[in-house]
Amino acid sequence: DQSVVQLVATPEATEVIATWPGVDRIEPAVASANSIYDANMYPPGRGWTPDNFGPLTIPAQGMTVELTPKSWEEYSTVITKYEGHSATMGPEGTFLIDGAQTTSYMFEQDYYFVMGDNRDNSEDSRFWGFVPRDHVVGKALLVYFSWDAEAMLPRFSRLFSLIN
């Protein structure tokens, strides 16, 4: 019986898996820029997947970024949609913000990278980007449920525990 299993693993984990009974060989597979996730990931074009994501710098109030085609993909939505500026990338990597040519941008507020509580099946910042501070309206108060994937049991000691 020839079975093929694909998984995301570190090189160290791969070495351990290679010693398991029944494992004949391990072949690395790297997500390409046109992977099935690419069109849906934020920002697009990086070859990232929900499990192999980043690095990505989260904007903070007062932080300045140099504008490049790469940083433009990461931050143009923040600059236009959340900070309210007219912004375009012109030919040869030139940038206009509110009609003035510039090479950098300073963020006006803090942003968050949010992840859903079901990491493996969650639409979150990996798909739609940063959340501005002024859009955060709630605060987590308690752990409703916690699952131990190794023991395949709930972590009963954490259920309904308060978050400090």
Domain range summary for the chain, segments of one domain joined by +? 1-54
Distance from C-alpha of 159 to C-alpha of 51, rounded to nearest angstrom: 26
DSSP 12: H
Distances 68 to 20, 60, 162 between C-alpha atoms, Å: 46, 18, 43
- Beta strand ranges found along 1-158 (DSSP E): 64-66, 87-89, 95-97, 100-102, 104-106, 111-112, 131-132, 142-143, 147-148, 153-154
| pTM metric for this prediction | 0.65
Q: 105 falls in which pLDDT band (50, 70, 90)?
A: very high
Average pLDDT, the chain: 87
Q: 104 falls in which pLDDT band (50, 70, 90)?
A: very high
To the nearest 10°, report the CA torsion of 67, 89, 33, 46: 30
Task: Provide φ and ψ at 60, rounded to 5°.
Answer: -130, 155
Per-residue model confidence as pLDDT tens digits over 127-161 = 889 999 999 888 889 988 888 888 899 999 999 99
